[in-house]
Amino acid sequence: MTFESFASSDTGRRRRNNEDAFLARPACGLFAVADGMGGHAAGEVASGMAIATVEKTLLEILEKKPEPDAAQAALVAAVQEANRLICEAAGSTTAHAGMGTTLTVLALLAHAHVYRIAHVGDSRAYLLRDGELTRLTRDQTWVQDRVDAGLLTPEQARTHPLAALLTGALGTHGDVDIETVAGDIRPDDLFLLCSDGLTAVLDDADLLRLLGDGLPPDAAAARLVDEANLRGGPDNITVLLIRAVDRAA
Ligand code: CA
Protein backbone atom coordinates (compact mmCIF):
# COMPACT_ATOMS: atom_id res chain seq x y z
CA MET A 1 0.00 0.00 0.00
CA THR A 2 1.20 3.52 -0.83
CA PHE A 3 -0.18 6.98 -0.13
CA GLU A 4 -0.96 9.86 -2.47
CA SER A 5 -1.29 13.15 -0.64
CA PHE A 6 -1.90 16.77 -1.37
CA ALA A 7 -1.94 19.76 0.98
CA SER A 8 -3.29 23.25 0.55
CA SER A 9 -2.94 26.02 3.14
CA ASP A 10 -4.54 29.40 2.55
CA THR A 11 -4.64 32.61 4.60
CA GLY A 12 -8.36 32.99 3.91
CA ARG A 13 -10.14 36.30 3.26
CA ARG A 14 -9.96 38.06 6.62
CA ARG A 15 -6.62 37.30 8.26
CA ARG A 16 -3.30 38.89 7.39
CA ASN A 17 -1.11 35.96 8.41
CA ASN A 18 -1.40 32.24 8.00
CA GLU A 19 -0.77 30.72 11.44
CA ASP A 20 -1.53 27.17 10.27
CA ALA A 21 1.29 24.74 9.50
CA PHE A 22 1.34 21.21 8.15
CA LEU A 23 3.56 18.26 7.33
CA ALA A 24 3.06 15.65 4.60
CA ARG A 25 5.59 12.83 4.21
CA PRO A 26 3.69 10.18 2.24
CA ALA A 27 6.76 7.98 1.77
CA CYS A 28 6.83 7.19 5.49
CA GLY A 29 3.14 7.80 6.20
CA LEU A 30 3.55 10.85 8.45
CA PHE A 31 1.06 13.74 8.30
CA ALA A 32 0.20 16.59 10.67
CA VAL A 33 -1.74 19.83 10.91
CA ALA A 34 -1.21 22.57 13.52
CA ASP A 35 -3.25 25.75 13.98
CA GLY A 36 -1.39 28.38 15.96
CA MET A 37 -2.73 31.20 18.11
CA GLY A 38 -1.21 34.21 19.85
CA GLY A 39 -0.50 37.85 18.98
CA HIS A 40 2.48 39.33 17.12
CA ALA A 41 2.90 36.30 14.83
CA ALA A 42 3.46 34.07 17.88
CA GLY A 43 0.81 31.68 16.54
CA GLU A 44 3.04 31.00 13.56
CA VAL A 45 5.92 30.31 15.90
CA ALA A 46 3.88 27.83 17.96
CA SER A 47 2.43 25.90 15.01
CA GLY A 48 5.83 25.89 13.29
CA MET A 49 7.49 24.48 16.43
CA ALA A 50 4.83 21.76 16.72
CA ILE A 51 5.31 20.64 13.12
CA ALA A 52 9.12 20.80 13.34
CA THR A 53 9.06 18.65 16.48
CA VAL A 54 6.81 16.06 14.84
CA GLU A 55 9.09 15.88 11.82
CA LYS A 56 12.27 15.68 13.84
CA THR A 57 11.11 13.06 16.32
CA LEU A 58 8.84 10.84 14.20
CA LEU A 59 10.26 10.60 10.67
CA GLU A 60 13.15 8.40 11.68
CA ILE A 61 10.98 6.19 13.89
CA LEU A 62 8.34 5.62 11.19
CA GLU A 63 10.96 4.87 8.56
CA LYS A 64 11.86 1.80 10.65
CA LYS A 65 8.30 0.40 10.27
CA PRO A 66 7.50 0.15 14.00
CA GLU A 67 4.87 -2.03 15.61
CA PRO A 68 1.57 -0.10 15.89
CA ASP A 69 1.75 0.18 19.69
CA ALA A 70 5.28 1.55 19.50
CA ALA A 71 4.20 4.02 16.81
CA GLN A 72 1.29 5.20 18.98
CA ALA A 73 3.59 5.72 21.95
CA ALA A 74 6.02 7.65 19.75
CA LEU A 75 3.22 9.92 18.50
CA VAL A 76 2.15 10.73 22.05
CA ALA A 77 5.76 11.36 23.09
CA ALA A 78 6.23 13.72 20.12
CA VAL A 79 3.12 15.73 21.06
CA GLN A 80 4.31 15.92 24.68
CA GLU A 81 7.74 17.09 23.52
CA ALA A 82 6.16 19.76 21.29
CA ASN A 83 4.11 20.95 24.26
CA ARG A 84 7.18 21.14 26.47
CA LEU A 85 9.15 23.15 23.90
CA ILE A 86 6.29 25.56 23.18
CA CYS A 87 5.58 26.12 26.90
CA GLU A 88 9.29 26.83 27.40
CA ALA A 89 9.39 29.29 24.46
CA ALA A 90 6.15 30.95 25.58
CA GLY A 91 7.63 31.52 29.03
CA SER A 92 10.97 32.85 27.80
CA THR A 93 9.98 36.00 25.87
CA THR A 94 7.04 38.39 26.30
CA ALA A 95 6.51 38.44 22.51
CA HIS A 96 5.68 34.74 22.66
CA ALA A 97 3.68 34.78 25.92
CA GLY A 98 0.27 33.20 25.52
CA MET A 99 1.08 31.47 22.26
CA GLY A 100 -0.33 28.02 21.62
CA THR A 101 -1.33 25.62 18.90
CA THR A 102 -3.49 22.67 18.04
CA LEU A 103 -1.76 19.56 16.75
CA THR A 104 -3.23 16.55 14.96
CA VAL A 105 -0.72 13.89 13.91
CA LEU A 106 -1.61 10.94 11.67
CA ALA A 107 0.70 7.98 11.10
CA LEU A 108 -0.26 5.55 8.33
CA LEU A 109 1.58 2.26 8.89
CA ALA A 110 1.48 0.66 5.45
CA HIS A 111 3.35 -2.45 6.63
CA ALA A 112 0.68 -3.16 9.26
CA HIS A 113 -2.35 -1.73 7.38
CA VAL A 114 -3.30 0.43 10.37
CA TYR A 115 -3.32 4.11 11.29
CA ARG A 116 -2.62 5.85 14.56
CA ILE A 117 -3.51 9.43 15.58
CA ALA A 118 -2.46 11.74 18.43
CA HIS A 119 -4.52 14.89 18.75
CA VAL A 120 -4.86 18.08 20.81
CA GLY A 121 -7.23 20.98 20.05
CA ASP A 122 -9.82 21.47 17.32
CA SER A 123 -8.07 20.61 14.08
CA ARG A 124 -9.68 17.43 12.78
CA ALA A 125 -9.04 14.09 11.14
CA TYR A 126 -11.74 12.49 9.00
CA LEU A 127 -11.93 9.22 7.09
CA LEU A 128 -13.98 8.80 3.91
CA ARG A 129 -14.60 5.09 3.26
CA ASP A 130 -17.29 3.45 1.12
CA GLY A 131 -19.14 6.74 0.72
CA GLU A 132 -19.28 7.40 4.45
CA LEU A 133 -17.43 10.26 6.17
CA THR A 134 -16.37 9.62 9.78
CA ARG A 135 -14.89 12.21 12.10
CA LEU A 136 -11.98 10.43 13.81
CA THR A 137 -11.00 13.11 16.34
CA ARG A 138 -13.02 14.87 19.00
CA ASP A 139 -12.74 18.67 19.16
CA GLN A 140 -11.29 19.85 22.46
CA THR A 141 -13.62 22.84 22.62
CA TRP A 142 -16.13 24.37 24.98
CA VAL A 143 -18.92 23.84 22.44
CA GLN A 144 -18.04 20.15 21.88
CA ASP A 145 -18.38 19.53 25.63
CA ARG A 146 -21.91 20.97 25.33
CA VAL A 147 -22.70 18.85 22.28
CA ASP A 148 -21.61 15.75 24.20
CA ALA A 149 -23.83 16.81 27.12
CA GLY A 150 -26.81 17.19 24.76
CA LEU A 151 -26.99 20.97 25.30
CA LEU A 152 -26.08 22.01 21.72
CA THR A 153 -26.56 20.39 18.33
CA PRO A 154 -23.45 20.01 16.12
CA GLU A 155 -24.84 22.76 13.87
CA GLN A 156 -25.39 25.12 16.83
CA ALA A 157 -21.84 24.35 17.97
CA ARG A 158 -20.36 25.12 14.53
CA THR A 159 -21.95 28.57 14.35
CA HIS A 160 -21.73 29.43 18.08
CA PRO A 161 -19.95 32.71 19.00
CA LEU A 162 -17.67 30.67 21.29
CA ALA A 163 -17.04 27.92 18.69
CA ALA A 164 -13.30 28.60 18.67
CA LEU A 165 -12.87 28.45 22.47
CA LEU A 166 -10.43 25.58 23.08
CA THR A 167 -10.33 23.38 26.14
CA GLY A 168 -7.06 21.77 24.99
CA ALA A 169 -4.00 23.22 23.24
CA LEU A 170 -0.22 22.94 23.24
CA GLY A 171 1.77 25.67 24.96
CA THR A 172 -0.61 26.60 27.76
CA HIS A 173 -0.05 23.92 30.44
CA GLY A 174 2.72 21.47 31.25
CA ASP A 175 0.12 18.71 31.30
CA VAL A 176 -1.70 18.16 28.05
CA ASP A 177 -4.67 15.89 27.38
CA ILE A 178 -3.76 13.93 24.23
CA GLU A 179 -6.49 12.01 22.43
CA THR A 180 -5.38 8.85 20.64
CA VAL A 181 -7.24 7.09 17.82
CA ALA A 182 -6.50 3.80 16.07
CA GLY A 183 -7.95 1.89 13.14
CA ASP A 184 -7.25 -0.13 10.03
CA ILE A 185 -6.45 1.18 6.54
CA ARG A 186 -8.13 -0.18 3.43
CA PRO A 187 -7.38 0.54 -0.22
CA ASP A 188 -9.12 3.72 -1.45
CA ASP A 189 -9.50 5.13 2.07
CA LEU A 190 -9.32 8.93 1.95
CA PHE A 191 -8.04 10.70 5.07
CA LEU A 192 -8.61 14.42 5.61
CA LEU A 193 -6.68 16.52 8.13
CA CYS A 194 -7.84 20.12 8.42
CA SER A 195 -7.81 23.25 10.54
CA ASP A 196 -11.01 24.86 11.85
CA GLY A 197 -10.90 27.47 9.07
CA LEU A 198 -12.41 24.72 6.93
CA THR A 199 -14.88 23.20 9.38
CA ALA A 200 -16.16 26.52 10.75
CA VAL A 201 -17.76 27.23 7.36
CA LEU A 202 -18.38 23.71 5.99
CA ASP A 203 -20.32 21.07 7.90
CA ASP A 204 -19.75 17.32 7.58
CA ALA A 205 -22.45 16.99 4.90
CA ASP A 206 -20.68 19.70 2.83
CA LEU A 207 -17.37 17.86 3.21
CA LEU A 208 -18.91 14.58 2.08
CA ARG A 209 -20.54 16.26 -0.92
CA LEU A 210 -17.26 17.93 -1.94
CA LEU A 211 -15.10 14.82 -1.39
CA GLY A 212 -17.42 12.01 -2.35
CA ASP A 213 -17.01 11.97 -6.12
CA GLY A 214 -13.49 10.54 -6.17
CA LEU A 215 -11.56 13.58 -7.44
CA PRO A 216 -7.78 13.22 -7.09
CA PRO A 217 -6.46 14.68 -3.80
CA ASP A 218 -4.99 17.83 -5.41
CA ALA A 219 -8.23 18.85 -7.12
CA ALA A 220 -10.32 17.91 -4.07
CA ALA A 221 -8.12 19.94 -1.69
CA ALA A 222 -8.32 22.99 -3.98
CA ARG A 223 -12.09 22.63 -4.14
CA LEU A 224 -12.42 22.56 -0.33
CA VAL A 225 -10.26 25.67 0.09
CA ASP A 226 -12.15 27.51 -2.67
CA GLU A 227 -15.48 26.64 -1.08
CA ALA A 228 -14.33 27.84 2.38
CA ASN A 229 -13.23 31.14 0.83
CA LEU A 230 -16.53 31.47 -1.05
CA ARG A 231 -18.23 31.25 2.34
CA GLY A 232 -16.23 34.19 3.66
CA GLY A 233 -12.87 32.60 4.49
CA PRO A 234 -12.95 33.99 8.04
CA ASP A 235 -9.86 32.09 9.19
CA ASN A 236 -6.76 30.35 7.83
CA ILE A 237 -7.72 27.20 5.93
CA THR A 238 -5.52 24.10 5.81
CA VAL A 239 -6.54 20.91 4.04
CA LEU A 240 -4.44 17.77 3.81
CA LEU A 241 -5.87 14.85 1.83
CA ILE A 242 -4.32 11.39 1.74
CA ARG A 243 -5.52 8.47 -0.35
CA ALA A 244 -4.44 4.89 0.30
CA VAL A 245 -3.55 3.14 -2.94
CA ASP A 246 -3.29 -0.63 -3.23
CA ARG A 247 -0.15 -1.25 -5.27
CA ALA A 248 -1.32 -4.70 -6.25
CA ALA A 249 -4.48 -3.30 -7.81
CA1 CA B 1 -7.87 28.52 13.09
Residue 194 has pLDDT above 80, yes or no: yes
Name the H helices within 1-66: 42-63
DSSP 180: E
Q: What is the pLDDT of residue 96?
A: 83
Distance 142 CA to ligand 1 centre (A): 15
Q: For 28-54, what is the mean pLDDT?
A: 93
Query: Distance from the CA of 141 to the center of ligand 1, in angstroms?
Result: 12
Neighbours of 205 (CB within 10 A): 10
pLDDT digits (tens, 9 = 90+) for 67-107: 999 999 999 999 999 999 999 998 887 888 889 999 999 99
- Residues pairing with 152 in the sheet: none
Whole-number Å distance, alpha carbon 240 to ligand 1 midpoint, is 15
Share of the chain residues as helix, strand and coil, in percent rounded to the nearest 5: 35, 30, 35
Q: Residue 248: its pLDDT value, please?
A: 61
Which residues on neighbouring strands pair with residue 101, listed in sequence order?
36, 170
CA of residue 187 to ligand 1 center, whole Å: 31
The predicted structure's pLDDT at residue 98: 85
User: Distance from the CA of 108 to the center of ligand 1, in angstroms?
Assistant: 25
Cα(111) to centroid of ligand 1, in Å?
34
- pLDDT at position 94 is 82
Supply the mean pLDDT for the chain: 95
- Does this model's pTM top 0.75? yes
According to the model, what pLDDT value does residue 211 have? 94
Mean pLDDT of 40-54: 93
Residue 123 burial (CB < 10 Å; 0-12/13-18/19+)? buried
Query: How many other C-beta atoms can be found within 10 angstroms of the C-beta atom of residue 245?
Result: 16
Distance 249 CA to ligand 1 centre (A): 38
Cα of 34 from ligand 1 centre, angstroms: 9
Residue 169 CA to ligand 1 center (angstroms) comes to 12
Residue 46 C-alpha to ligand 1 middle, in angstroms? 13
Instruction: Give me ligand 1 centre to Cα 66, in Å.
Output: 32
Query: Tell me: the pLDDT tens digits for 221-240?
Result: 999 999 999 999 999 999 99
CA of 203 relative to ligand 1 center, distance in Å: 15
What's the gap in Å between 206 CA and the centre of ligand 1?
A: 19
Q: Exposure of 174 by Cβ count < 10 A (0-12 exposed, 13-18 middle, 19+ buried)?
A: exposed
